[in-house]
Amino acid sequence: MTWPLLNKSPVARAITVALSVWLTACASGGLRETPKALPDPLPQEAEVAIEWWHILGDQYADKSIAGLKPTVAESGDRIITALASGELLAIDAQGKVTRLGDLGVSITSPVTLDSNQLILADEQGNVRVVTEDLTPVWTLALNALVTEAPLVTDERVFVQSIDGRISAIERITGRLLWSFQDAEPDLTLTGTSRPVLVSTAQGDALVSGLANGKLVAISVVDGSVIWEYRITRASGKTEVSRLVDVDAQTTLLGSRLIASSYQGDLVVIDAATGRVLQARPFSTYRSILAEDEVWFGVKANSHVVAMDPATLEERWVNDDLEFRQVSELVRLGDVLVMTDREGWLHVLDVHSGDYLGARHIDWQGVQREPVPFSDGVLVQGDSTRLKFIKIR
């Protein structure tokens, strides 16, 4: 998503005001570009059908709901989603809503489901665990904003906050076990990477991207650094041109890690050793959709790309959505589905990249990527409308 800038110094704050706080998807790292107009007429090769939808909150007041993507239960037959007010809802595949209750505080992260418990973060800087009837299990005050879903194992909960801190919490008690934090630049994007769990030569580790352009693997036991790799170095004369955030979640494919950064490179790294296997220039703040035979990515200028995993060379490029701030990609059979900040959902052919169809989904825009659910996708828009969509 396009992230507001997080300013940590008077100079950075002044720059942020001058830029109207938004950094825009642009391959050169420049300021806001005009979104490319969609084809006229729109292709009709794919039908985008809205099966059901709900208004989840006050469309003028509950703005923070736009950043909270729904969480699909392990059973696959329902989702849990949050309102900005703190209310939590369960919705099944037919669109039936069950109200779970109200936490009474705004929620800032998507919910993680684990053993009939909900794990999430709130606007007061707390990580919370509650049962599905919202009975509190424990609360830990981190005093930092968490915007990505917590990562949960049998023994620990891991979160990465927007100040760059990675924290490990005891799963049962909520006791803070350790925190890791590396030096960060004064000006960063307020988004964060979400850690992934990998096996290394020195034991299990968390791998995550940082705002200083590094990818780091840290021990789950004590937070010590096992290996690190700088994907890109800050360059340029302005603080904006020096942004190098690694905000996209690293993709794990077998024993390989696929990571990328804003104004930097796409790299393939051996998870066990941190050794770089492949690299190519590729500026993005979206995760790579990696499959055995083909990888897909969205460049910072919203060009959608299919790559050969063996060489990282491009098989096809679609520039129909240039500068439209396209979301991460979801594959449904032979099509790729994505949203944009203008509120559209787009469909591309997986094999050729051809533009197959689109539909305007939300009049206020969409910040989050579609979420696969049942035989379609969920899209949560900025107007607080949640829609279940099928592609035919």
Q: What is the CATH number of the domain that holds 171?
A: 2.40.10.480
β-pair partners for 159:
167
pLDDT of residue 214: 86
Could you say which DSSP state residue 15 is in?
H
Residue span of the structural domain in which 210 resides: 148-189+193-245
Q: How many CB atoms lie within 10 A of CB 199?
A: 11
pLDDT of residue 2: 39
Q: How far is CA 296 from CA 140, 180, 278, 369, in A?
A: 38, 31, 16, 14
Token pair for residue 118?
A: 């909900």
Parallel/antiparallel/unpaired status of strands 330-332 and 335-339: antiparallel
3-class DSSP assignment, residue 154: coil
Measure the CA–CA gap between 67 and 343, rounded to whole angstroms: 14
pLDDT score, position 212: 80
Confidence (pLDDT) at 30:
42
> Is 360 a member of any domain?
no
Residue 310 lies in a domain: no
Within a domain: residue 254? no
How far apart are the C-alpha atoms of 194 and 210, rounded to whole Å? 10
Identify whether 210 is part of a domain: yes
Neighbouring-strand partners of residue 363:
none
The answer to whether the beta carbons of residues 317 and 304 sit under 8 Å apart is yes
Would you state the pLDDT for residue 59?
54
In a domain, 60, yes or no: no
Tokens 């292709």 — which residue? 43
Residue 68 has a pLDDT of 77
- Domains contained in the chain, number: 1
CA distance linking residue 224 with residue 216, whole number of Å: 10
Long-range contacts, stretch 236-241, CB < 8 angstroms, 24+ apart: 236/29, 238/15, 239/11, 239/12, 239/15, 239/185, 239/186, 239/187, 240/15, 240/19, 240/23, 240/29, 240/187, 241/29
Look at residue 119 and tell me if it is in a domain: no
Q: Which two tokens stand for residue 355?
A: 């533009």
Question: Are residues 129 and 119 in contact, defined by beta-carbon separation less than 8 angstroms?
Answer: yes
- Name residue, tokens 């690299």: 279
Cis-peptide into 41, omega within 30 deg: yes
Q: What is the DSSP string of 192-221?
A: ----EEEEETTEEEEEEE-TTSEEEEEETT
Which two three-digit tokens encode residue 123? Answer: 């606007």
CB 250 within 8 A of CB 208: yes
Given this model, what pLDDT does residue 60 score? 52
Q: What is the pLDDT of residue 182?
A: 84
Cα–Cα dist 29/297, whole Å: 18
Starting from the edge strand earliest in sequence, which strands make up the sheet with 304-307, in order?
289-290, 295-298, 304-307, 314-318
Euclidean distance between CA atoms 135 and 10, whole angstroms: 42
Token pair of 10 as six digits:
């008077």
Confidence at residue 111, expressed as pLDDT on a 0 to 100 scale: 95
Domain membership of residue 324 (yes or no) is no
- Report residues of the chain scoring pLDDT below 50: 1-5, 8-31, 237, 239-242, 244
Residue 343 lies in a domain: no
Give the three-class secondary structure for 164.
Answer: coil
Residue 104, burial from CB neighbour count under 10 angstroms (0-12, 13-18, 19+): exposed
